[in-house]
Amino acid sequence: MASIAKVVVEISLDREFDYRIPAHLQASIRVGSQVTVPFQSRELRGFVVGLANYSAFADKLKEIAGVVGEKPLIPDEIMKLAYWIADYYCAPIEHAVRTVLPSAVRKRGAKHKKQLVASLVNETGCPACDNLPPKQQAVVETLRQHGPLTVSELKERSGCSESPIKTLEKLGLVSIEESTILRDPHAGMELLRTEPFELMVEQRTALDTICAAMDQEKPGTVLLHGVTGSGKTEVYLQAIQHALDKGQGAIVLVPEISLTPQTVDRFRSRFGDCVAVLHSSLSDGERHDEWHRIRNGEAQIAIGARSALFSPVENLGLIVVDEEHEPTYKQDESPRYNARDVAVMRGRIENCCVVLGSATPALESFNNVRDGRYGLAEMLMRVDDRSMPLMRVVDMRIEAEKEGRASIFSKELVQGIYDRLNINEQVILFLNRRGFSASLQCEKCGYVAECAECSVSMTYHKRAHKLLCHICGAEEKVPDRCPDCGDPDFKYAGMGTERIEEVLGKLCPKARVARMDSDTMRKKDSYRTVLDQFKTGKIDILLGTQMIAKGLDFPNVTLVGVLHADMSLNVPDFRAGERTFQLLTQVAGRAGRGEKAGEVIVQAYTPHHPAIQAARSLDYEGFCSQDLEFRRELNYPPFSHLVLLTFKGENELEVMAAADRFSAQLERILPESVSHSPPVPAPLARAKGLWRYQIMLRCEHTVKMTRPIRHVQQTCRLPKGVTLTVDVDALSLL
């Protein structure tokens, strides 16, 4: 039996501490146990992250003081996953442990909520309960009608204060007891139960492939490539039913839960209370309760964003990662893990099947199918043979020539909008930039307002009449004359959703337009509210940023307009083409989901770009083959793994010097198969006041990069003002 426990304490220290396990606690301590330990002069809470028989500090060790709770909070399998994450993503184990256990559960004092519940002692009625004074009578009547109620509900419903309730308690007619109540985040939002659909042929085949995989001894991973509207969700639902039938549970990951309320509702209305929903707008208490509903087996299905992957679902049979290509699955703080990839790992550890679903799978996943690592299920037809929307690309350069100036709306798009409004059909317009204009430029000297802290131009927001930095959030007043040359004339360069809204108001003043971006969606429920209004036809045109690109299913939308398709191409990133293809395909997929056919009008300045053309001709495979060729030539992922080192600090020279020193040491021990760049300024050279320098490494095997990096991290001390982030399989190269 192990005599030493490695404990990560609940304060930000990047290491484990050894403690002796006292004899009387031997039996109850395992990896994942929550314990109390003496630490300096305090007692702290921590987690056991490992056990050992030997410690280098054996003679100085303190003893563990006690164990908290009966069951270890973190099951073994999830603990294993935490270790894998720490190792693979070059992160401290403490960060990994924090990641797998929500803080609402981990925090001291987080516990079940208790409330006072009142009920009638004699429910069938007793003579003493009649002929009471009116107030008491009202209380009794309310309880007869509703059954047991919390004291606060009882007060509200009977319209009485606490005193008649207390009197009734004294009389022995009403009992008041403390009981645990679950905070139900969905209270008041009951959904109609749905029955499974009769599957389409392709859905049937896909489900069979998935179920066959689930029934295997080593279930593995299946990529479900299904075009938009092919009915992927129904396949997930029935695959989950298959798991439930076998007595197993399931986890469903969705990219951003607040943006996919429709999807979540579909799971809840099929499986009811078996579903625990974990999302960021839950209060700590709700999160704590949902987590425990999973841990004690009341809920067999967990659905949520990234971190729901670590839900302690027992006897896990299936993990679904919906929209697996979404970059939001990558966490942008340590540990910088990708939930899609960790899902595959969890599948391996727990021997459960993983389904990755998308209309536009990431090239990494596509390539894994090609290499035989993942199975494949394909659905290339829409449900009920609905046609895929027809996409037209409008060349905005020609449009500008014709009009004599750059225009925001092409003739085709304006006509398309008018046509739909006339017959009461709906329109979605997409532009991936909020605000009014990309920048404000002096007509005379060309001065552009830039953020003082970041190397980007400030975005002009008209309604707020402010310049905003979209990187750090800094706000500035709009100068009334150019700070450089004093000229009072400014020109808007580029456009944002706010400006589109204004132009739209002039083009079609009668149309009801709603704008959906992070400026207008500040409140918790605004997203749901607008979507409900759109669904019930109270809005004609929905205008938004990438918030509206995914998961929405509105049958009456027959036109989707994309206002500046090449905006996402002009990014210094080898994935720019892939992102653009995905975005266009996803946005286009919002059109024609009902009986009526859909049309998509894409405005672009580079209409012949392969990503735009492939999206137009619905040619996923063609796009992949072409882009993979380019990636292979340049040895980019998926043909290599990529690690990005970013050095940040206030003093540019210091950052540069630190990066150089690190690079020199690293170079000495890197294996030959690793290719690496010298330190260079990041594309986003400065953000939030910090200078940024990067080193990019590429190699087929991640460990060949991460081992040496770890080694240099331990031996090469960075100067005080400089920090280093290590991003394994980085998705953002800025």
Q: Toward Zn ion, which CB reaches closer, 244 or 448?
A: 448
Partner touching 451 among ligand ADP, Zn ion, none, CB below 5 to 8 Å by kind: Zn ion
Instruction: Please write down the long-range contacts of 201-207, taking CB distance under 8 Å and 24 or more positions apart.
Output: 202/226, 202/230, 202/378, 202/379, 202/380, 202/381, 203/230, 203/231, 203/234, 203/235, 203/379, 203/383, 205/377, 206/235, 206/377, 206/378, 206/379, 207/235, 207/238, 207/239, 207/242
Closest separation between CB of residue 613 and Zn ion, Å?
36
Helix (H/G/I), strand (E/B), else coil: 333:
coil
Closest separation between CB of residue 476 and ligand ADP, Å?
42
Segment interacting with ligand ADP (CB under 6 A) among 32-40, 106-114, 136-144, 195-203: 195-203
Segment interacting with ligand ADP (CB under 6 A) among 81-89, 151-159, 230-238, 687-695: 230-238
Single out the residue of 234, 350, 399, 727 in contact with ligand ADP (rule: CB under 6 A): 234
**Residues touching ligand ADP: how many (CB under 6 A)?**
15
Partner touching 230 among Zn ion, ligand ADP, none, CB below 5 to 8 Å by kind: ligand ADP
Please, how many CA atoms are within 13 Å of residue 291, restricted to the half-sphere of its CB?
A: 25
Is the Cβ–Cβ distance between 554 and 426 less than 8 Å?
yes
| Binding to ligand ADP, residues 548-567 (CB under 6 A) | 553
Q: Toward ligand ADP, which CB reaches closer, 323 or 399?
A: 323
Would you say how long the chain is, in residues? Answer: 734
Helix (H/G/I), strand (E/B), else coil: 343:
helix
Partner touching 277 among Zn ion, ligand ADP, none, CB below 5 to 8 Å by kind: none
The residues that touch Zn ion, with contacts defined as CB under 5 A, are: 451, 453-454, 469, 471-472, 474
Helix (H) or strand (E) holding 706: helix 703-715
Comparing CA positions, the residue from 199, 253, 318, 343 lying closest to residue 551 is 253
Partner touching 361 among Zn ion, ligand ADP, none, CB below 5 to 8 Å by kind: none
Q: Residue 453: phi, psi to the nearest 5?
A: -105, -20
Is the Cβ–Cβ distance between 453 and 686 less than 8 Å?
yes
Partner touching 630 among ligand ADP, Zn ion, none, CB below 5 to 8 Å by kind: none
Q: Toward Zn ion, which CB reaches closer, 96 or 467?
A: 467
Residues near 659 by Cβ (< 8 Å), separated by ≥ 6?
Answer: 645, 647, 679, 693, 694, 695
Cα distances (angstroms) measured from residue 239 to each of 224, 248, 321, 326, 396: 12, 11, 13, 22, 45
Is the Cβ–Cβ distance between 258 and 279 less than 8 Å?
yes
Q: Which ranges in 491-566 belong to alpha helices (H)?
A: 497-507, 526-535
- What DSSP line would sit under 229-273, residue for residue? TS-HHHHHHHHHHHHHHTT-EEEEE-S-GGG-HHHHHHHHHHHGG
Partner touching 553 among ligand ADP, Zn ion, none, CB below 5 to 8 Å by kind: ligand ADP
Closest separation between CB of residue 690 and Zn ion, Å?
11
Q: Toward ligand ADP, which CB reaches closer, 378 or 573?
A: 378
| Alpha-carbon 243 to chain mean position | 25
Tokens of 283: 């209060």
Segment interacting with ligand ADP (CB under 6 A) among 232-240, 473-481, 534-542, 558-566: 232-240
- String marking each residue 197-226 x if it binds ligand ADP according to CB under 6 A: xxxx--x----------------------x
Closest separation between CB of residue 235 and ligand ADP, Å?
8
Cα distances (angstroms) measured from residue 301 to each of 114, 136, 397, 637: 25, 44, 51, 33
CB atoms within 10 A of CB 446: 11
Q: Toward ligand ADP, which CB reaches closer, 272 or 671?
A: 272
Tokens of 93: 């184990």
Closest separation between CB of residue 233 and ligand ADP, Å?
3
Burial bucket for residue 475 (CB in 10 Å: 0-12, 13-18, 19+): exposed
Helix (H) or strand (E) holding 685: strand 680-687
Closest separation between CB of residue 684 and Zn ion, Å?
10
Q: 55: which DSSP letter?
A: -
- String marking each residue 348-387 x if it binds ligand ADP according to CB under 6 A: -----------------------------------x----
Question: Judged by CB under 6 A, does residue 67 bind ligand ADP?
Answer: no
Partner touching 577 among ligand ADP, Zn ion, none, CB below 5 to 8 Å by kind: none
Q: Toward ligand ADP, which CB reaches closer, 200 or 277?
A: 200
Question: Judged by CB under 6 A, does residue 456 bind ligand ADP?
Answer: no
Q: Toward ligand ADP, which CB reaches closer, 203 or 368?
A: 203
Single out the residue of 228, 260, 307, 545 in contact with ligand ADP (rule: CB under 6 A): 228
How far apart are alpha carbons 709 and 670 in whole angstroms? 9
Partner touching 471 among ligand ADP, Zn ion, none, CB below 5 to 8 Å by kind: Zn ion
Closest separation between CB of residue 270 and ligand ADP, Å?
11
CB atoms within 10 A of CB 34: 23
Partner touching 229 among ligand ADP, Zn ion, none, CB below 5 to 8 Å by kind: ligand ADP
Segment interacting with ligand ADP (CB under 6 A) among 231-239, 570-578, 612-620, 681-689: 231-239
Q: If phi over 0 gives left and psi between -120 and 50 gives alpha, with beta otherwise, what is residue 150? A: beta
- String marking each residue 382-421 x if it binds ligand ADP according to CB under 6 A: -x--------------------------------------
- The 10 Å CB-count burial string (b at 16+, else e) for 36-58 is bbebeeeebbbbbbbbeeebeee
Closest separation between CB of residue 386 and ligand ADP, Å?
8
Partner touching 228 among ligand ADP, Zn ion, none, CB below 5 to 8 Å by kind: ligand ADP
Tokens of 41: 């002069």
Partner touching 474 among Zn ion, ligand ADP, none, CB below 5 to 8 Å by kind: Zn ion
Segment interacting with ligand ADP (CB under 6 A) among 5-13, 160-168, 191-199, 210-218: 191-199
Helix (H) or strand (E) holding 667: helix 652-669
How far apart are alpha carbons 166 and 175 in whole angstroms? 9
Single out the residue of 32, 102, 185, 229 in contact with ligand ADP (rule: CB under 6 A): 229
Residue that has been written with the tokens 């967990």 in this structure: 302
Q: Toward ligand ADP, which CB reaches closer, 385 or 633?
A: 385
Segment interacting with ligand ADP (CB under 6 A) among 104-112, 228-236, 572-580, 686-694: 228-236
Q: Toward Zn ion, which CB reaches closer, 451 or 658?
A: 451
Helix (H) or strand (E) holding 153: helix 151-158
Q: Toward ligand ADP, which CB reaches closer, 199 or 472?
A: 199
Q: Toward ligand ADP, which CB reaches closer, 383 or 474?
A: 383
Single out the residue of 99, 230, 358, 586 in contact with ligand ADP (rule: CB under 6 A): 230
Residues making contact with ligand ADP (CB under 6 A) = 197-200, 203, 226, 228-234, 383, 553
